[in-house]
A and B are shown apart, each in its own frame.
Chain A
Amino acid sequence: MTCAETFSAYWLRSLGIGERLLPRADITLCDQIVLIGSGLIWNVYFGVLALLFGFFLSITVAMGKASPHVWIRKPAEWFIFLFRGSPLFIQFFLAYLFFLQLKRLGIGSDLLTSAAAGAVVVLVLNTAAYSGEIFYGALRSIPKGDLEAADAYGLSGWHRFRRVTYPTMLRLAWPAYTNEAIFLFHATTLVFFSGFPAWQQQGDALYYATYFADKTFNPFVPYPIVAIYFVLLTLTVIAGFGVANRRLNRHLPQERRTRLKIRPQVIR
């Protein structure tokens, strides 16, 4: 097979479209690049969905933790402790088994035990806890003067939140939130190693890389390919969040604008 043929046969393999059998013998570099790239679709899918839903949930959690009412504050604190205090790996396992239990009891559906939906639920809750803590920190460091000015203008309740609290919180939290997003994309590689099955060998980038490493006994090709793909993904995330960062800071004088400082962490 030429590389072009390989591409058309495998570039959507992770979604179950194209050639059914994975390459077994005579694995070429082209096979590895195409198939691992195909798996990256899943990483992007998990990451984007988790970021989207996690964003709204995390702001709710942050507001909850900052609430003066004990009955709202305590659950938010426990939620954050539960998801930040335990490994994501264990959370995936536990969630999968929990969904399996629900299915046996007839409450849940097949959907939740599949990686496509079940893993997204876990990732949303997990990122909501981590970014909830980030937004809570930002909420606490909103300059007092800004809030006093809002009071002086007669803003209160929803209006004060929408016009003053929320934009300032977002602006202050954005560099840390960018790190969290990068971190989240890296965490999506754990999904298929933690209970959630890869149905008909439709897996993510790391799933196919491990497949190739097992088949060829040569880790020096597939893993660096994954690494390069993730570096590119990370750069894309940084670029996207950088645009948002500039927009959030556009009203400030140049020297007071917060710069994005990228410090990806190892694993959660």
Chain B
Amino acid sequence: MTCTDPESLHGIAWLACYLSSGKHMLFYSSFGTVLLLLAITAPVSLAFGFMGAMAARAGFAPLRWLGLAYTSVVRGVPDIVFFLFFVIALDQGIEYLRHEALCPGWTEPVRQGNDFIVCPEAKAPLSTAPQWVHEVYNFMLAVFTFAIVFGAFAANVLIGAMRAVPRAQMETAEAYGMSRRQAFWRILVPQMWTYALPGLSNLWMILIKATPLLFLLGVEDIVYWARELGGSKNPRFSSYPHGDWRIYYFLALLVFYLALTKVSEVGLGRLTRRLSHGQATAAGEAMRKAGA
């Protein structure tokens, strides 16, 4: 079977050729983009959250204020506004810093009325850069934005989890002569995860459902391709003419997200069991009794 002459094909053969066209391959790989975003964002925002939580507990007051300000400001600003705002702000911030560093002789103001103009060398990425650099740059901006926003939420969950570890555990650590730092890393951190997991699971579910926003951030993600491929195709411009099929493409996206949610539910359920093992909680106690 060859796909060189689609007009001669019918039925299944036509569909098989249609679904394996070059653009469809890009569509399939964009599912990878979404999974990649999740895979990078989850640990990065957890790290941001951990730092935020540590800062909020710090003995040094300005650091503590910084941690608390981070969590409350990001959480207070409504959702999508933050996404739209942050990407442009970040982009302009980077270009402005590069402008200051690379073009010291530039005398014109950066903001000219309604325009934001930096010298050509300060453009990020450079306008001469190949297409993939632009795409990677946009993707990295998106990852950073997601990480900042979800980091604030994770910080809030982790602060709660650190407070939930029984006081007696920390007192025991002190009785054994551990320093504050040792008690934190050896007692508090290993035990807090079981308390943090319900909140973090919830956050993970929200993160999954926030990924279509990549489309708004200018990344060629699954929503972009579903609109692109599903729109009606004219026989003059396409070898696979068809009507408006967007509804089928979006149904496929719906199934993808439902499957991702279901898999996550099962996976997180297993993780919860794993983390409850040997913990000083009701779930951990039940597992101990069942095992004994």
Contacts and interface: CB of A to CB of B under 8 A. Distances in A.
Interface of A: 25, 27, 81-82, 84-91, 93-94, 97-98, 100-101, 186-187, 189-190, 193, 206, 209-210, 213, 215-220, 223-224, 226-227, 230-231, 234, 264-268
Interface of B: 75-82, 84-85, 88-89, 92, 111, 114-116, 149-150, 153, 206, 208-213, 215-216, 223, 226, 244, 246-247, 250-251, 253-254, 257-258, 261-262
> What DSSP secondary structure best describes chain A's contact surface?
helix
Given A216-B114, A218-B114, 16 more contacts: A81-B258, A81-B261, A85-B261, A87-B209, A87-B210, A93-B223, A94-B247, A209-B81, A210-B84, A219-B88, A223-B81, A227-B81, A264-B75, A264-B76, A266-B153, A267-B79
A216 B212 CA distance: 26
Question: Which 7 residue pairs spanning A and B have beta carbons closest together?
Answer: A223-B85, A85-B261, A89-B212, A267-B79, A97-B247, A87-B209, A219-B88
Contacts of A190: 80
A81 B78 CA distance: 25
B114 A189 contact: no
B59 to A, nearest CB: 27
A183 to B, nearest CB: 9
A212 B88 CA distance: 13
Contacts of A93: 223, 226, 246, 250
16 contacts: A25-B114, A85-B258, A89-B215, A90-B223, A90-B250, A206-B80, A206-B81, A219-B84, A219-B88, A220-B89, A224-B85, A231-B76, A266-B150, A266-B153, A266-B206, A267-B80
B85 A85 contact: no
B78 A186 contact: yes
A216 B92 CA distance: 13
B285 to A, nearest CB: 22
